[in-house]
A and B are shown apart, each in its own frame.
Chain A
Amino acid sequence: MDFISMAKLENTQITARCQAKFAERLQVGGEPHGLLTLTARAEDILEVLEFLKTDPELSFGFLTDITAVHYPELDKPFCVVYHLHSWANRSRIRIKAFIDGKHPVIASATALWDGANWMERETYDFYGIRFAGHPDLRRILNVDDMEAFPMRKEFPLEDPNRVDKKDYFFGR
């Protein structure tokens, strides 16, 4: 049971170290439920991720997840969310980067982690966010010739062409 008593890096230390390096380019978004959330600019994201991964004190070496969220009412409606995990320091961190809606582009993290490959393909498939530098950016879960990006808020859930499910009977 020793792993429980291992020293845990505090969020304040992480914030201090990040702000020493990046100053205003990295904003602290808060600590919802103890998970430090930082917001970076889309141009800086690769630098931020590389710093978090390679810095010997922080060493967020494990990429847990990459995903995105769509906020249609914001100027920059797409928010790419990275979850990293530092096993040595037993802490997790969340990085967000807001990007533009008309041409959503952000650098690909495949340069740092091989595992980012499919995670970014899934995010592209759902939201249409292009990851610059990705070796093989194409759809992964939906049919290859689909044109729309289904997880965007304006895309409907049900297939409008289905013949046997009359909305009238389902209370819609």
Chain B
Amino acid sequence: MSEITLAKAPPGLEGAGFFATKIDQVIGLARANSLWPLPFATSCCGIEFMATMAATYDAGRFGMERNSFSPRQADMMMVMGTIAKKMAPVVRQVYSQMAEPRWVIAVGACASSGGIFDTYSVLQGIDEIIPVDVYVPGCPPRPEAILDGVMRLQDIVRNESLNRRQTPEYRALLEKYGFHFNG
């Protein structure tokens, strides 16, 4: 028999023709199932991402159908591959151009911590320059691992409060990385 189950609805009041629940549950559900990635693919992990997007592993099932290379239209930035110090300002600029709510997945060992390249020219993890939500270890991680990372992010997104981006903790986090707000 098929293992497919329907997704669970969030807790709420149900009746004939209506379903009442909290608004951040509904929005969380909608956001989690339509995360549009910005594939920031630099090296080998990018090829595994290509395999994840292709037919065998199909990330489109998770709502990642539209890959946006424009940061303005993307929800999550998947940094896949080694980030050299030359590339770091580009990562920061692309991240700062993303509109809230935005999330970052660091795919692979190089993006998480510099990987096997402990050298003068490689940034030892993108969390030195931008805040990261999910780290996917591996060199490169298998497509199943990348999808697992996306699913972890979906859990975060589904349970995130609507107010998170205005909270002082979040502001302090961005200030720590050097992203300032005016007003």
Chain A: residues with CB nearer than 8 A to chain B?
142-143, 150, 155-159, 162, 164-165
Contact at B121–A142, with CB atoms within 8 Å? Answer: yes
CA distance A155 to B120 in the complex (A): 10
Q: Given the known inter-chain contacts A164-B124, A165-B124, please indicate yes or no for A159 contacting B119, CB distance below 8 A.
A: yes
Among B113, B114, B120, B125, chain A packs the most CB atoms within 10 A around the CB of B120
CA distance A164 to B114 in the complex (A): 11
**How many B residues are at the interface, by size bracket?**
10 to 19
CA distance A142 to B124 in the complex (A): 16
Flag B88-115 by CB within 8 Å of A: 1 or 0 each: 0000000000000000000000000110
Question: Which 4 pairs from chain A and chain B are nearest by CB?
Answer: A159-B120, A143-B86, A162-B124, A158-B118
Measured CB to CB, the closest approach of chain A to B120, in angstroms, equals 5
CA distance A61 to B43 in the complex (A): 34
- Determine if B85 is an interface residue (Cβ-Cβ < 8 Å): yes
Main secondary structure of the interface of B (DSSP, over half): loop
Show 8 A/B contacts (Cβ-Cβ < 8 Å), sorted by A: A142-B86, A143-B85, A150-B121, A157-B119, A158-B119, A159-B124, A164-B125, A165-B114
Chain B: residues with CB nearer than 8 A to chain A?
85-86, 113-114, 118-121, 124-125
CA distance A171 to B25 in the complex (A): 49
Contacts of A155 in B (CB 8 A): 120
CA distance A159 to B125 in the complex (A): 13
Contact at B120–A150, with CB atoms within 8 Å? Answer: yes
In the complex formed, the residue of A with least CB distance to B86 is: A143
Measured CB to CB, the closest approach of chain A to B133, in angstroms, equals 19
CA distance A162 to B85 in the complex (A): 12
Contacts of A159 in B (CB 8 A): 119-120, 124
Contact at B120–A157, with CB atoms within 8 Å? Answer: yes
CA distance A164 to B120 in the complex (A): 14
In the complex formed, the residue of B with least CB distance to A150 is: B120
Contacts of A150 in B (CB 8 A): 120-121
Measured CB to CB, the closest approach of chain A to B11, in angstroms, equals 41
